[in-house]
Amino acid sequence: MQFRLVPALLVFLGSYFPLALILALQDVSQQAWAAGLCTDWSMCTFPKFDHPWLSGLGIVTTGLCLLLTFMVVSKLRYKYPIKILDSKPIPSELISYSFPYIVSFMGVDYGSLGKIAGLVAFLSWLFLITYKAGQIIMNPILLVFGWNLYELRVIVGKHERTSKCLSKKILPPGRYLCQEIQGNYITDGEPCDD
């Protein structure tokens, strides 16, 4: 299955929900930070943002995209049988997702249109690379919610191959139903009958 461009973009944007939160925290006004933590709940107020529309738009957009990612994953139909000969967990490829987080601490400011434009250009370029490489579903935020990445040696049809797979469970040798997305597999980890 090949991800279409728009759903792929939504899955990609959902993985940057934590970045939107980081940028929003950096946009909280100095007066709100100077007020300290609120200890009397009846007197607490929502912190003021220097650029509330941009902060809110970032959080809402990436938050909705994250919810859509979970909807896409939950609606997948596992219909392709594969036989796993061997599997081993592999570390997620977090480097492409970590760059924007590092960038957020190096002066991205909602008050600077040039810096926001640069971040958008950077994320657009990362999206194109990730999409063309077929790695959209290898979303590291899924790790937080119990998904793991595995390298598999499988038999598909009558051919042996090596592939990557996202699974909610450990994958011992056996037969499984999977969905193939851009050359990678995703499964719920439930073995199926021969």
Contacts of 94 (CB under 8 A, 6+ apart): 140
Same domain for 85 and 174, yes or no, is yes
Q: How far apart are the first and last CA of the chain?
A: 24
Q: What does the pLDDT read at residue 67?
A: 94
Residue pair 65/6 in contact by the 8 Å Cβ criterion: no
Residue pair 130/12 in contact by the 8 Å Cβ criterion: yes
Which CA distances in Å does 61 have to 57, 72, 96?
Answer: 6, 16, 20
Same domain for 71 and 81, yes or no, is no
CA nearest to 83, candidates 179, 181, 18, 178: 178
Helices (H), the chain: 5-14, 17-26, 30-34, 52-75, 95-104, 113-132, 141-144
Per the structure, the count of domains in the chain is 2
Same domain for 119 and 181, yes or no, is no
Same domain for 45 and 83, yes or no, is no
Same domain for 84 and 113, yes or no, is no
Q: How many CA atoms, within 13 angstroms, populate the side-chain half-sphere of residue 88? A: 4
Structural domain of 187: 77-93+141-194
Q: What does the pLDDT read at residue 63?
A: 95
Same domain for 115 and 192, yes or no, is no
Which CA distances in Å does 100 have to 61, 158, 167?
Answer: 17, 42, 26
Same domain for 70 and 153, yes or no, is no
pTM higher than 0.95 for the full model?
Answer: no
Same domain for 159 and 110, yes or no, is no
Tens-level pLDDT at each residue, the chain (194 residues): 556 788 888 888 998 898 899 889 888 888 877 777 777 777 777 788 888 999 999 999 999 999 988 888 888 888 888 899 999 988 755 555 566 666 655 677 788 888 888 888 888 988 888 888 777 777 778 878 888 888 899 988 888 989 888 898 989 999 999 988 877 888 988 888 75
